[in-house]
Amino acid sequence: MRIATWNVNSIRSRIDRVVAFLERHDVDVLAIQETKCREDQFPGLALSALGYEYAHVGLNQWNGVAVISRVGLEDVQRQFADDQPQFGDVLEPRAVGATCGGVQVWSLYVPNGRDLDHDHYAYKLDWLARLRAAGDAWLAADPQAQIALTGDWNIAPEDDDVWDIAAFAGKTHVSEPERAAFRAVVETGFADVVRPHAPGPGVYTFWDYQQLRFPKKEGMRIDFALCSPALAARVTQGWIDRDERKGKGASDHAPVVIDLD
């Protein structure tokens, strides 16, 4: 079974690339972030034609997440907690989960944070704390649960996960509270299953469109697949499809892929 996660930065703009990616890599389940469309605008027909079902949560041109599966799509959940935090008066579409081939796959788009003194930063930390609490509860209820927390975490948990740590001084994504929030999820039992197969430094999943970051190899590693203990034991391979960042119309993120026994 092959599971992938990808911030596509607009599914309507990149549906052709998504279809080609699914076919090229024989993907069973794909978690997508930043769909940037309402649910009635989601280009599901192209996916259905390939034999995929999908669950999508989206409100407008911001955020939006989806799970696409050809191995079943059951028990769809549109948020990971009843008290999932909001920013302002809207519950942003940042999480959707579904059971696919016996695995509970979550597509997560963690808030950006914007600036260390911004309200969005506090919202980000609260969001992550609720996610950690949800993950802890799931594993406490069933230590053998098969769960994949995949998506754009908007955190570079180690210095090697950015091209120059000095360039990020005083900025989000690398601050200690954010990194501690990421570690807290790991400490509940969820493992970064890709890093052992694709260690750094210089291994990234995101390159800003500005200042030619991609050809300069100035990226960040902020997209992850964190797996519960029972699921992590099944992972045989993990990798980042850097080539998908190339060419006209590419997203600024690359897909992250894991293979299961």
Residues in the chain: 261
List 53's β-bridge partners, or say none. Answer: 69
- Residue pair 95/137 in contact (Cβ under 8 Å)? The answer is no
Per-residue pLDDT of the chain (261 residues; tens, 9 = 90+): 999 999 999 999 999 999 999 999 999 999 999 999 999 999 999 999 999 999 999 999 999 999 999 999 999 999 999 999 999 888 999 999 999 999 999 999 999 999 999 999 999 999 999 999 999 999 999 999 999 999 999 999 999 999 999 999 999 999 999 999 999 999 999 999 999 999 999 999 999 999 999 999 999 999 999 999 999 999 999 999 999 999 999 999 999 999 999
Alpha helices in the chain (DSSP H): 11-25, 44-48, 119-141, 176-187, 229-232
Total domains in the fold of the chain: 1
pTM of this prediction?
0.98
Torsion of CA 237, 222, 255, 204, to 10 degrees: -80
15 lies in which domain range?
A: 2-260
Chain-centroid distance of CA 233 in Å reads 20
Comparing CA positions, the residue from 122, 209, 210, 107 lying closest to residue 172 is 122
CATH code of the domain covering residue 53:
3.60.10.10
Of the chain, the end-to-end C-alpha distance in Å amounts to 7
Comparing CA positions, the residue from 129, 130, 111 lying closest to residue 121 is 111
- Residue pair 88/14 in contact (Cβ under 8 Å)? The answer is no
